[in-house]
Amino acid sequence: MFHWSQYQTEQYEESGQFICPECGADTIYDLYRTYRHARLFVMIIPITHSKELFFETVRCQSCGASLSITVLAINASVVGSVMDAGTEAGCGISSNLGNIVEISEAAAQEILRRHFTGEFKAKPVVRISLPLSPGEGYMVGFDFALADGRDWIGESRGIGIIVDRRDAPLLLGRTIGFCNGIFRDDTPNARI
């Protein structure tokens, strides 16, 4: 009587200028988004439908390479102020790109070590979140970068960085280091 139907659709979103990390050309990219759809049917009548952003791909018009959206964050500027950090995303991919935090060399090495140990296929992208309580380390975990407006997507030391817009005002301008097994604040005069 009830049954689910699931399928995916790919949709062209926008184009822009970038330097392709695969072929090195200063060229045009096309952004495609893959959406996952689910429908609940009663007999043959659909009663609910959901659509969620599942994946994003940047395609180089010169060489055809399919790349992670984080390639667009390589030249992202630093978000200017605490007020900007907490704002909602606007139209277009550029309103989702911005560097909120930096990572130290030690933090980058630890992230790459964990990435290698986990045998992940894609380039590392990490989500950085505030400590759960004072005195604890920052939460750093692997994630997928989606420019859905909820996060800032940036880059530091060749690693894609995702920061939730709600956490962004408190993380803005910080440098995350790694020492004694903990991701900690390496920002001079830090108070968190």
Structure confidence at residue 181 (pLDDT) = 93
Asked which of 38, 67, 96 is the last residue of a domain, the reply is 67
- Amino acid identity of 151? D
Structure confidence at residue 55 (pLDDT) = 87
Higher pLDDT, 73 or 40: 73
Structure confidence at residue 189 (pLDDT) = 67
| Average confidence (pLDDT) over 33-38 | 90
Structure confidence at residue 169 (pLDDT) = 96
Tell me which of 5-14, 40-49, 147-156 is least confident.
40-49
Mind giving me the DSSP string for 4-72? EEEEEEEEEEEEEEEE-TTT--EEEEEEEEEEEEEEEEETTEEEEEEEEEEEEEEEETTT--EE-GGGG
Structure confidence at residue 139 (pLDDT) = 95
Whether the CA torsion 53, 131, 158, 172 is positive or negative: it is positive
| Average confidence (pLDDT) over 64-76 | 91
Can you give the residue range of the structural domain that contains 179? 75-192
| Average confidence (pLDDT) over 125-145 | 92
Give the C-alpha separation, 56 to 158, whole Å: 19
Residue the block writes with tokens 């043959």: 44
Higher pLDDT, 29 or 44: 29
| Average confidence (pLDDT) over 67-76 | 90
Mean of pLDDT over the chain: 90
Q: Are strands 45-60 and 26-42 parallel, antiparallel or unpaired?
A: antiparallel
Whole-model pTM? 0.82
Q: Is 154 helix (H, G, I), strand (E, B) or coil?
A: strand
- Identify whether residues 3 and 81 lie together within a single domain: no
Residue 191 above 60 pLDDT? no
Q: What is the CATH number of the domain that holds 102?
A: 2.60.300.12
- Identify whether residues 177 and 91 lie together within a single domain: yes
- Identify whether residues 42 and 127 lie together within a single domain: no
- Identify whether residues 12 and 87 lie together within a single domain: no
